[in-house]
Amino acid sequence: MRDTILVTGGAGFIGSNFILSWMETAGSEVINLDLLTYAGNPANLSSLDRDPRYLLVRGDICDADLVGSLLRKHQPRGIVHFAAESHVDRSIASPGAFIRTNVQGTFVLLDQVKGYWSELNAADQAAFRFLHVSTDEVYGSLGAHDPAFSETTAYSPNSPYAASKAASDHLARAYHHTWGLPVLTTNCSNNYGPFQFPEKLIPLVILNALEGKPLPVYGDGKNVRDWLFVEDHCAAIRAVLQRGRVGETYNIGGNSERTNIEVVNLICDLVDEMRPPRSSGARRNLITFVKDRPGHDRRYAIDASKLTRELGWQPAEQFEGGLRKTVRWYLDHSSWVESVQTGAYLEWITQNYTERLAI
Ligand code: NAD
Ligand code: DAU
């Protein structure tokens, strides 16, 4: 077994941040298995183009033969599984892809990894890790005064996305419980930062604000999310991979609960500061309340005290500072922005917002 890790979905938002930070910290070889769907962008990792430690394989986690042959060829000591369909609104529009990749794909991956792992010698089996990256959405929705989600909160997924991730968490747990596969699961809150595809709230609002377009806020704008800067999520994943207790789940969160309208107002003010508006006035004037997401979860909040207690992890970034860095990043990376605002992106914006903005 080599020191290599196999990352799935490493060309997406969190996966590419993870690979870049892995190269700077742990530094061992990375095989990135990614289907390069609309959300996967190899340009996120172009700084590694000539790095002999990095290999991108375009392929599907549902392809058992491909996964099995990659494992035997590269002999990884660990898997970090990010690959998923990840956008809640898309899961409401077309749930099938979420069942295929998130449930079937995770099953294929676990099953192939079990076969590979069972052929390793005892020392390599003991050192091996499968880290399943999941979400706080599996726990459902909180009321305003409920305690934050802990690792023992009962699962109560509300969207097809959340249900597909919950199913994948149960499969990961079952492969550990039944066969002893060394699985770890992380359930994280909302991430933001560089390379996030602009279908999600924060990059969508940054780019619309820059372009003087309406800023669509679902419902009353008082839904709450617990925001975490993506680099803090990557650091937590490294800690769990390297020192987490096998078979455990760890919640990861930012201690930064904000209503959506607070987030959008803050983005407007940051964009006004960095790109002062001309005649059109303050960006807050662009805020438009639109038709709500069906089944919209009201509040997420994460209790990450287990991760802090056991592994000493804490988020390094405060929300306001992280958001400032993120707005700056989108302003400074206009060619990245242009390259992703193409076919699949434009189709989605038309599909999701035309009817909503009309109310
Ligand atoms: P993303 O949508 O930006 O990226 C997903 C990546 O997976 C893309 O590169 C895509 O090409 C790839 N992919 C999709 N289907 C595939 C398949 N069948 N085979 C191989 N690759 C495939 O997602 P993200 O926001 O980076 O999220 C990564 C993971 O983290 C997901 O599992 C998600 O559920 C989880 N998560 C995300 C957040 C968040 O706020 N974004 C929070 C908690 C957990
Ligand atoms: O909680 C973790 C989850 O966070 C991850 O598992 C998901 O992969 C990730 O997409 C994210 O899910 P959300 O649905 O919370 O993220 P999104 O950015 O889509 O929306 C954040 C909030 O903003 C949510 O309450 C819906 C609202 N929203 C979203 C969009 C796209 C708007 O008001 N307007 C919008 O246009």
Number of domains into which the chain is organized: 1
39 within ligand 1 shell (Cβ under 6 A): yes
251 within ligand 2 shell (Cβ under 6 A): no
Q: Give residue 278's pLDDT.
A: 82
215: in domain: no
Q: Give residue 358's pLDDT.
A: 67
Could you tell me the distance, in angstroms and rounded to a whole number, from the CA of residue 328 to the centre of ligand 2? Answer: 21
What is the number of the ligand closest to the CA of 206?
2
Rounded CA separation 132/128 (Å): 13
Could you tell me the distance, in angstroms and rounded to a whole number, from the CA of residue 276 to the centre of ligand 1? Answer: 34
Q: Of these residues, 29, 89, 136, 169, which one is catalytic?
A: 136
Rounded CA separation 220/81 (Å): 35
Residues 120-159 pLDDT 10s? 999 999 999 999 999 999 999 999 999 999 999 999 999 9
352: in domain: no
**Domain encompassing residue 306:** 4-193+227-255+296-319
Rounded CA separation 79/241 (Å): 9
User: Which atom, in ligand 2's list, is nearest to the CA of 162?
Assistant: 6
User: Which atom, in ligand 2's list, is nearest to the CA of 226?
Assistant: 1
182: in domain: yes
Q: Of these residues, 29, 34, 137, 169, which one is catalytic?
A: 137
279: in domain: no
Per-residue confidence band for 161, with pLDDT thresholds at 50, 70 and 90: very high
353: in domain: no
284: in domain: no
346: in domain: no
Instruction: Give the angle 293-294-298 at the CA atoms, nearest 5°.
Output: 70
Sign, CA dihedral 122-124-127-132, equals: negative
Of 7, 8, 14, 345, the residue with max ligand 1 atoms within 8 A of its CB, to mutate for a pocket test, comes to 14
Using DSSP's 3-state secondary structure scheme, residue 83 falls into coil
Q: Give residue 359's pLDDT.
A: 62
Residues 271-307 pLDDT 10s? 999 999 987 799 999 999 999 999 999 999 999 999 9
Burial class (CB in 10 A: 0-12, 13-18, 19+), 255: middle
Which phi and psi angles does 289 have, rounded to 5°?
-80, 130
The answer to whether the CB of 9 falls within 8 A of the CB of 81 is: yes
Catalytic residue list contains 300: no
Catalytic residue list contains 161: yes
327: in domain: no
Q: Which CATH number is 123's domain given?
A: 3.40.50.720
Given a cut of 80, is residue 236 above it in pLDDT?
A: yes
Q: pTM value? A: 0.98
